[in-house]
Chains A and B, each alone.
Chain A
């Protein structure tokens, strides 16, 4: 019984001598190879050219600041709890009088470390954060010879200061919104 209309009888005749030389089939194959010379090259020459990532790509973490340059993080620990790989370590500290320009709320993270060796870039920390203090950027973690450099401290994670370094801050924000690349 025929199941589809596309059924085709298989040709099982033995090959003739001319067919067994495969000359025509080799020419057909070579022709396909030849036509590929005139097609667009799919290769991206990586170190020189880069490919744009998806808008939802999750790369290295960034600790956010507000418009005045104060750190958003209050060291509540929700990101560390949400982290499936338990890669986040933090130590809380109380804001002293006179530090209002540094930290937005009364409590801040004195130490904030992410172990990129263990991190799986799932973005659950970003989802857990109630203060919009951490987000995942469009940058992937670079390779390294040793394990030491993979534990990212606060100075590596923090976004550039919007007042002291407006260009760096603007660049990081645009990258987050997917405008860059």
Chain B
């Protein structure tokens, strides 16, 4: 597994969806409106500034110059959930935080996406046993689109998750359709 995953380079289709119809003196691009909308959405995902623990440091690192997620259109981190498209759950969700997370998710406008980052957010991690306060995975509270493993994940791993989310949006499938095809 290690050698195969070594060069985990997500396939990117950055090109505009559709094909060019050649006409004398130029051409016109033909495309489906859904494809264009999905393409536009996937390239302007505004994340919510939501970081509850150490994964937030890696999230900030991704926002910094070294990794720079603004190359993918993620740079406009919003403090208001009403202006955000994607919520990156970076950190432990404890029982007291869970209602807040749910409210933030409900306040976001559709379409909204969720990335669970790090062991705590995806399963409770080291707090899975013997802790009274930690939610065993943020998907007990809100539905999650992309999971990233790690404690905390590398900045590259978060970038990989963001690109994975872009692919998901571009494919136009719903969360339920993807889940059904995985099972």
Contact = CB atoms under 8 A, between A and B. Distances in A.
B71 A120 contact: no
B128 A42 contact: no
Contacts of A138: 2, 6
Contacts of A86: 128-129
Contact of B9 (A43, A47, A171): A47
B68 interface: yes
The interface centre, meaning the residue of A51, A62, A146 with most chain B CB atoms within 10 A of its CB, is A146
The interface centre, meaning the residue of B2, B129, B146, B163 with most chain A CB atoms within 10 A of its CB, is B2
A148 interface: yes
B92 to A, nearest CB: 12
A48 B14 CA distance: 13
A15 B126 CA distance: 58
B160 interface: yes
Interface residues of A, number: 48
B21 interface: no
Given A44-B66, A118-B124, A143 B147 contact: yes
A177 to B, nearest CB: 13
Contacts of A113: none
A60 interface: yes
Interface string B17-50: 0000000000000000000000000000000000
A175 B67 contact: no
A118 B125 contact: yes
B178 A145 contact: yes
B6 A139 contact: yes
A60 B1 contact: yes
B68 A117 contact: no
B65 A60 contact: no
A145 B179 contact: yes
A145 B146 contact: yes
Contacts of B7: 50
Nearest to B154: A140
A142 B125 contact: no
Contact of A43 (B10, B67, B122, B178): B67
Interface in B113-160: 119, 122-126, 128-129, 137, 139, 145-151, 153-154, 156-157, 159-160
Interface of A: 42-48, 50-51, 53, 59-60, 62, 84-86, 115-122, 137-150, 152, 156-160, 168, 171-172, 175
Given A50-B7, A115-B123, 4 more contacts: A44-B66, A141-B157, A145-B179, A171-B6
Interface of B: 1-3, 5-10, 12, 65-68, 71, 119, 122-126, 128-129, 137, 139, 145-151, 153-154, 156-157, 159-161, 163-164, 168, 178-179, 182-183
Top 9 nearest A-B pairs by Cβ distance?
A120-B151, A143-B161, A117-B123, A141-B149, A156-B1, A137-B2, A146-B182, A85-B126, A116-B149
